[in-house]
Each structure stands twice: as structure tokens, then as C-alpha cells.
Amino acid sequence: MSKTALLFAGQGAQFVGMGQDLANQYPTARSLFDRANGALGYDLASICFGGPEAELLKTENAQPGIFLVSWVALQLLRERVPQFQFQATAGLSLGEFTALTAAGVLEFEDGLRVVRMRGRFMQEACEATRGGMAAIIGLEEGPTREVCTEADVELANLNCPGQLVISGEEAKIARACELAKLRGAKRALPLPVAGAYHSRLMASAQPKLREALAGIPIHLPAVPVISNVTAKSHGVASEIHERLVEQVTSSVRWEESIRSLLAQGFTRFIELGPGTALSGFMKRIDKSVQVLNVGDCPSLELTAATLGQTLES
């Protein structure tokens, strides 16, 4: 029997209009957007649907917005394919919170609130520093780490073969991009982000997040959830708390996380939430596995139909 893992989008996947067609067509989706507005005390749904873009791009809105659309996508898939089951979850950075919620570790409203707080804490860290990030395309991990050491920046994301992301002070990121090109990178592109995520410049967010998490009930995962920090399954509740706090400044070991799932025999991966970045990474990691996604009505219909045929056969 095929083993299925759910993958949840991270920050950067947001776009104005995300989730709107799902809310318009499915009462379950509309209800979840209304529940989210009630839990947060403001109209997140209208920001997701209509922006303005500057408001959606704020970390404190983008993170809960992506969490919410991803959660809606999962619930609609469950509704459309009642016999659907999954055996593991993983999420990129912010998406790890959605992955934990999908596995029953966090309740929906708790996950939404803590992601909103996490976004605010990270936004505050961005405003207190002058940080940036850059994508390094076509350079191996070893040379990229050398560049990071020389430029005094950090390796933030190990996404897939040929795509790494570095993070640090703006001036140092510019220097790192120059060094990466000299070492053979095809491209070194500064990213349009508010700050230096997954670097030491985010350290001020950690004690605030630790305090916020302390007030939230944590349950044991119903299925394995892969940690960005360790690229292994999460453990007991206290360890989950610490890994989520560490994650703010640690590298996202995404390729290693996916390879761990592949080694465990997973052959179907379903990306849930806005965009298809994780599906793109998967194709660079292993083209042989089945990759599906749910982010809007057409992708929901296609994935539901594909799963329905597979599960009936």
C-alpha cells in the first residue's frame, strides 16, 4: 500500500486572493475562515482574499494566512475523499506548525494563534535588525557553507539539490552573493523578505515564542511529524516546544527531511496550501514519486479525483 505524506507551505507562498475560491464554493471553507476571524479577533480572511498586498506581506498576517489556507485545503480534501489517510506530515518553517496541527499535536485555534504571535515576534526582530536573505542557485552545500563562513552569514534553507538560501545582515548578504558567483553559483538572488529569517538575527523572537508555546496544550502526534531542525520525527511535548523555538534561528533541513521520508517508503506527497514551491522541490529531490497539491478549486478537484481512483482500485 502506498504511504502518503502531507507537506505544508511556508512563508513566501502567500498571494492576494489565496483561499477565496475555496471559501466561495465550499461552506466548510467559509466556516473555517469565519472561525479563524473569531479566534484572532480581526478579519484575516479579507486580507487573504483582497489584501492589500502590503498588509498580507506583513509577517504577522502572512504566517496565519498561509496556515489557514493550508488547513482549509486539508479539511476540504478530507471532505471530498472520506477514506483518505496519511502516514506522516512535514512543513517548511511556518508550515511545520500546520504539519503538527494536522497530526493532532495542536488544536486548530491554538495553532492559528501561536502562528500569529510567531509572525509578530519575527516581524519585531526584523524591524530591530537590518537583515536579508538570498537564494543560491547551482552551488553545492560545501562551497556555500564556505561562502557563509567567509561572509559571516548563515545557511538558512537547504531546500533541494541546487537551491540553497542564505540569511544575515544586508551588507554581508550582498558580499556573500558576490562570493557565491565567484565560486560558480549560476545565480545568487537577494529575496524580497522583511529580514534574516532562520539566522541569529531572529534570536530576540525565541524567548517570546517559548513563553507563548508554554501556554498551549501539546498532544502526542497521531502520525510522525518531521522537524525542520533535526530532519527526524518529533518526540515528546517538551521536545516539540524546544524544536519549534530552535527553528526560528536554525537551518531548515528540507531536502534531508524529504529524503528521510523517502527512505521510510513514502511514495505519495501532497502539498497543501498556496503555491507549489514544495512540489517543485520534490521534483528536484526525487522525480519518481507521486506529487499532488491542493491550493484552490481546480487542484482540489484534480487531487480528489486522483486519490479517489487510487483508493478505489
Q: What is the pLDDT of residues 200-209, one digit of tens each?
A: 999 999 999 9
Higher pLDDT, 27 or 310: 27
What's the pLDDT band for 310 if we cut at 50, 70, 90?
A: confident
Q: Spelled out in words, what is the top-level CATH class assigned to the domain 3-127+200-312?
A: alpha beta
198 is catalytic: yes
Cell readout for 171 is: 551588507
- Report the share of the chain in percent with pLDDT over 70: 99
Radius of gyration of the chain (CA): 19
What was the pLDDT predicted at 312?
61
State residue 231's pLDDT score: 97
Predicted local distance difference test score (pLDDT) of residue 193: 87
CA angle 63, 22, 57 (to 5 degrees): 25
The rounded Cα 308 to chain-centroid distance in angstroms is 26
For all residues of the chain together, what is the average pLDDT? 96
Name the residue among 15, 284, 294 with its Cα closest to residue 158. Answer: 284
- pLDDT(264) > 80: yes
Q: What is the pLDDT of residue 131?
A: 96
Q: What pLDDT digit, counting tens, does each position of 268-286 carry? A: 999 999 999 999 999 999 9
Q: Examine the pLDDT at 37 and tell me if it is beyond 60.
A: yes
Geometric angle at alpha carbon 42, from 123 and 111, rounded to 5°: 65
Q: Tell me: pLDDT of 313 over 60.
A: no
Sign of CA dihedral 219, 225, 230, 235: positive
- The residues spanned by each domain of the chain are 3-127+200-312, 130-190
CATH number of 130-190, picked from 3.30.450.20, 3.90.1150.10, 3.40.630.30, 3.30.70.250:
3.30.70.250
C-alpha–C-alpha distance, residues 244 and 246, integer Å: 5
Q: What pLDDT, on the 0 to 100 scale, is given for residue 308?
A: 87
pLDDT at 1 over 90: no
pTM listed for this prediction: 0.96
Residue 180 in this model has a pLDDT that exceeds 80 = yes
Q: What is the mean pLDDT of residues 220-240?
A: 95
pLDDT, position 208: 98
Is the pLDDT at 295 greater than 80? The verdict is yes
What pLDDT is stored for residue 2 in this prediction?
A: 86
The answer to whether 104 and 221 are in contact (CB under 8 A) is: yes
Q: Residue 205: which H helix or E strand, with range?
A: helix 205-214
Q: What is the mean pLDDT of residues 26-36?
A: 98
Residue 182's alpha-carbon distances to 164, 168, 188, 211, in angstroms, are: 16, 19, 10, 43
| Residue 204 designated active-site | no
Q: Which of 70, 198, 199, 250 is catalytic?
A: 198
CA distance 20 to 17: 6
Run of H or E including 206 = helix 205-214
Q: What local confidence, expressed as pLDDT, does residue 100 receive?
A: 98
Residues 271/258, Cβ–Cβ less than 8 Å: no
Q: What is the mean pLDDT of residues 114-141?
A: 96
- Which residue bears the cell 496556515? 67
| Position 220, amino acid | L
- Which is catalytic among the residues 70, 93, 167, 199? 93
Residues 233 and 225 sit within 8 Å (Cβ to Cβ): yes
